[in-house]
Amino acid sequence: AQSVTQLDSQVPVFEEAPVELRCNYSSSVSVYLFWYVQYPNQGLQLLLKYLSGSTLVKGINGFEAEFNKSQTSFHLRKPSVHISDTAEYFCAVRVDTGFQKLVFGTGTRLLVSP
C-alpha cells in the first residue's frame, strides 16, 4: 500500500531563516505528489504538485520541492520564511485505484518566530 511519512511533527525556525520539511513516500507505481498548507481552522490549500517532468517543482508563496525517485522523497523548502508561513503542512501521494484517492502524511507544524 502506498503511504507517506512526515518524520517531523513540528519544526521551529526563526524568521528569514531557510526551512526544509521532509516527506518520504512508498509507492510501486507512478507517483503523483502534493504539498498542502493548512492555516488554523481552515481547509487545505495546494502549495505545489509533482506529476511528471522536472524534478524541481515551484509553488506558491516562494516554496519549492524536489522529487527524488531514488530516495523516495519529496522535501519542501523555502529559502527565507516569514511569520505568516506559520501553519501545518501536509504531504500527500495520489493513489489511482479506480478513483483518485489522496493518502496524507500526519503533517508538520511549522512555527516561525521573530
Partner 1 sequence: DGGITQSPKYLFRKEGQNVTLSCEQNLNHDAMYWYRQDPGQGLRLIYYSQIVNDFQKGDIAEGYSVSREKKESFPLTVTSAQKNPTAFYLCASTSGRINNEQFFGPGTRLTVL
Angle at alpha carbon of residue 22, lines to 5 and 87, rounded to 5°: 100
Q: Answer yes or no whether residue 99 interacts with partner 1 by CB under 8 A.
A: yes
Should residue 102 be labelled a site residue for partner 1 when binding is judged by CB under 8 A?
yes
Residue pair 16/79 in contact by the 8 Å Cβ criterion: no
| Site size with partner 1, rule: CB under 8 A | 20
- Residue 34 touching partner 1 (CB under 8 A): yes
Strand 87-96 to strand 44-50: parallel, antiparallel, or no bridges (unpaired)?
A: unpaired
Round to whole Å and give the CA distance between 112 and 58: 21
Task: Using CB under 8 A, pick the residue from 22, 44, 61, 73 that binds partner 1.
Answer: 44
Contact 110, 21 (CB under 8 A): yes
> Does residue 107 interact with partner 1 by CB under 8 A?
yes
CB of 107 to partner 1, least distance (A): 6
When asked if residue 46 is in the footprint of partner 1 (CB under 8 A), the reply is yes
Which one of 28, 41, 54, 70 is in contact with partner 1 (CB under 8 A)?
A: 41
